[in-house]
């Protein structure tokens, strides 16, 4: 009896030790993220509450983070790269940083155009590139399409951020795909001819410039516009009283979309846990949080929106180009902007 008891106890101890060892390997997830939004804290915390998995995070700007992963090589502790804009995810793909993922949940819940070829990376939230115009300076009928920004009718009225910024490179990448190189370059030259001032600042600066009358129209991502609409600051409310927005190209290709996205790294030490986290991001709770936390649209269209500002902006036809295309055309997009003098 004593021997049997000893063997039983020893077997249990071995099982407990094995389970503890497994937990030590799979109970941790290492994220490298360039999303700088404080509101994402709840996304991380809720995952840990649901699973018991500890999240370790390294946060930095996009390009330095990608370079860090590249330099770390096979020794990198990173499991997932999270960043904004399809162009940056495509750059990481070109460096061979991602591995393909097989997941029925991701294939079922995420639209095909938000999944890169081979399921190397995925878009989990979207933002649209809209046109914002000063209602006293510009007629809404004159700014219904991206093409209109090159119309001489808008000479001296267009403001944008730098042509070298990833947001504009991704937009140009989409236009190249739809129009071809020659038309895209003619458009860029027309936009440059219509500048109210040299490109500078971020998207919030463009909206502010339109509201103040420095410009008549600008392009900006929707979450910047929604953030200002939701602001309780009297100054912001006063600014937004002077502007309105347009969903461009509703009768043609649809409004350009970009993403916040992620992929599992080729050298991920916790691959299964990394896939589990991506599937969590595609769940309704996390999807709704993207909308409520940072004014982004859920990639899963059936997820509850829970955002009165986004709901107030209405529905729109979105461009459904595959996100991989937005990266593939970026080298040519930069050449076109350079040739057009789009600084």
Compute φ and ψ for 83, nearest 5 degrees: -155, 175
Contact call for residues 246 and 67 (beta carbons, < 8 A): no
19 within some domain: no
Contact call for residues 277 and 103 (beta carbons, < 8 A): no
pLDDT of residue 17: 34
Q: Bridge partners of 255? A: 318
Q: In whole angstroms, give the CA distance from residue 319 to residue 45.
A: 33
Contact call for residues 230 and 307 (beta carbons, < 8 A): no
Number of H helices, E strands in the chain: 15, 9
pLDDT of residue 6: 35
At residue 241, the 3 state secondary structure works out as coil
11 within some domain: no
* 149 in the same domain as 67: no
pLDDT of residue 133: 98
* 229 in the same domain as 269: no
pLDDT of residue 25: 42
Which tens digits make up the pLDDT trace of 195-248? 999 999 999 999 999 999 999 999 999 999 999 999 999 999 999 999 999 999
* 69 in the same domain as 117: yes
Which tens digits make up the pLDDT trace of 156-180? 999 999 999 999 999 999 999 999 9
104 within some domain: yes
Output the six-digit token pair for 132: 């914002």
For the chain, give the number of residues.
Answer: 343
User: How many other β-carbons are positioned within 10 Å of the β-carbon of residue 198?
Assistant: 11
* 147 in the same domain as 76: no
- The CATH number linked to 78 is 3.40.190.10
* 227 in the same domain as 110: no
Q: 93-119 b/e with 16+ CB inside 10 Å = b?
A: beeebbbebebeebeebbeebbbbeeb
In the chain, which residues have pLDDT < 50?
Answer: 1-25
Q: In whole angstroms, give the CA distance from residue 282 to residue 267.
A: 23
At residue 214, the 3 state secondary structure works out as coil
Identify the CA nearest to 342 among candidates 171, 205, 221: 171
199 within some domain: yes
Could you please report the per-residue DSSP string of 254-292? Answer: -B-EEEEEEEEBTT-TTHHHHHHHHHHHTSHHHHHHHHH
pLDDT of residue 306: 85
Q: Bridge partners of 318? A: 255
User: How many other β-carbons are positioned within 10 Å of the β-carbon of residue 296?
Assistant: 26
Cβ neighbors of 225 (< 8 A, separation 6 or more) are: 130, 132, 207, 245, 313
At residue 258, the 3 state secondary structure works out as strand
Cβ neighbors of 218 (< 8 A, separation 6 or more) are: 131, 132, 133, 158, 159, 160, 206, 207, 209, 210
* 278 in the same domain as 184: no
pLDDT of residue 293: 83
* 228 in the same domain as 155: yes
The tokens 């440059």 sit on which residue? 192
Q: In whole angstroms, give the CA distance from residue 233 to residue 229.
A: 10
pLDDT of residue 154: 98
317 within some domain: no
Domain of 77 in residue numbering reads as 29-126+258-304
313 within some domain: no
Cβ neighbors of 107 (< 8 A, separation 6 or more) are: 115, 119
Q: In whole angstroms, give the CA distance from residue 319 to residue 171.
A: 11
Q: How many domains does the chain have?
A: 2
* 252 in the same domain as 171: yes
């Amino acid at each position: 009896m004593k021997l049997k008891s000893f063997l039983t106890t020893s077997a249990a101890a071995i099982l407990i030790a094995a389970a503890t060892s497994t937990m030590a390997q799979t109970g941790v997830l290492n994220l490298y993220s360039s999303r700088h939004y404080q509101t994402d804290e709840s996304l991380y915390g809720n995952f840990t509450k649901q699973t018991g998995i500890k999240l370790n995070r390294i946060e930095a700007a996009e390009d330095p983070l990608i370079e860090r992963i590249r330099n770390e090589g096979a020794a990198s502790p990173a499991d997932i790269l999270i960043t904004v804009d399809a162009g940056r995810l495509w750059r990481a793909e070109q460096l061979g940083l991602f591995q393909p993922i097989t997941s029925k949940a991701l294939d079922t819940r995420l639209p095909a155009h938000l999944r890169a070829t081979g399921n190397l990376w995925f878009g989990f939230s979207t933002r649209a590139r809209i046109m914002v115009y000063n209602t006293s300076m510009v007629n809404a009928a004159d700014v219904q399409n991206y093409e209109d920004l090159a119309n001489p009718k808008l000479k001296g009225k267009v403001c944008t951020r730098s042509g070298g910024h990833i947001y504009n490179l991704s937009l140009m990448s989409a236009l190249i795909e739809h129009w071809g190189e020659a038309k895209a370059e003619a458009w860029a030259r027309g936009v440059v001819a219509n500048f109210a001032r040299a490109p500078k600042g971020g998207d919030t600066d463009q909206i502010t410039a339109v509201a103040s009358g420095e410009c008549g129209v600008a392009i900006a991502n929707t979450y910047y516009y929604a953030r200002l609409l939701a602001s309780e600051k009297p100054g912001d409310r006063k600014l937004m009283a002077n502007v309105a927005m347009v969903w461009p190209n509703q009768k043609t290709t649809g409004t350009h979309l970009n993403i916040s996205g992620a992929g599992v790294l080729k050298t991920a030490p916790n691959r299964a846990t990394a896939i589990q986290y991506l599937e969590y991001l595609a769940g309704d709770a996390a999807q709704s949080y993207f909308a409520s936390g940072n004014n982004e649209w859920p990639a899963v269209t059936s997820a509850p929106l829970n955002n009165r500002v986004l709901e107030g902006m209405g529905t729109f036809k979105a461009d459904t180009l595959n996100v991989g295309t937005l990266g593939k055309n970026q080298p040519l997009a930069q050449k076109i902007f350079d040739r057009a003098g789009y600084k």
